[in-house]
Amino acid sequence: MTSRGTSEYQLNQAMRRDPRWAGTHAADQLPAFDKLPHGAFLIANYDNAGQAGSHWIAFGNLNAGGKHPLYFDSFGLSPDQLNDTLGAKAHFRRYLEAAARHNGRAPWINRVDLQCMMPNHSHNVTADVCGEFAVLFCRWKVLPVDPVTGHVNKQWAPIFSWRSSCEKSEHLVKKMAGIR
């Protein structure tokens, strides 16, 4: 991760007691589904192993037959959109599609820009709270907005209440994640 961002160690420490936690992974080292606990959640970085790290995202409901696999990016971008934004070549779309085949359900993708939800905001790829957002997703095990109803899930409501201030929102996320 960048020098300001959340480290792999910090993310693993924050999630270590969760029985469905499947760890942090580089883009080129995602685990096979049959090696994961049922309903696993994991955090992945857009960089490959041995690189500095660029952006944390998360997957959920892996190896959970009958459940929709989940993809969480704090910018609300799909894997392909994020590849374009970061200039990356991560194969997260393929992994998500494979998870959908494995689970027998279509994937659900976060479409809400949480890193800074101000009107007319362009994605701030230098913000350093993507790891904390990924931890909250893995801890709460729900997307910010319910894909069926369109309602904000209650766990995420405090973050939405700070919509007008990126600085306050990012401070709140760091506090809620309890990492730094």
Q: What is the pLDDT of residues 12-29, one digit of tens each?
A: 999 999 999 999 999 999
Per cent of the chain over pLDDT 70 is 90
**Which CATH number is 8-177 given?**
3.40.395.10
pLDDT tens column, 111-120? 998 886 544 4
| Pairing between β-strand 56-62 and β-strand 21-26 as defined by DSSP bridges | unpaired
**For residue 133, how many other CB atoms are within 10 A of its CB?**
30
Give the pLDDT mean for 83-107. 92
Q: Which residues contact 161 (CB under 8 A, 6 or more apart)?
A: none
Is the pLDDT assigned to residue 43 strictly greater than 90? Answer: yes
Q: Where do we find the tokens 């993310």?
A: 11
Domain boundaries, the chain: 8-177
Other CB atoms within 10 Å distance of the CB of residue 88: 18
Torsion of CA 179, 42, 116, 162, to 10 degrees: -60
The percentage of the chain sitting over the pLDDT mark of 90, rounded to a whole number, equals 69
Mean pLDDT of the chain: 89
H or E element, residue 81: helix 79-86
The CA-atom distances, in angstroms, between 92 and each of 32, 60, 122, 164 are: 13, 13, 23, 31
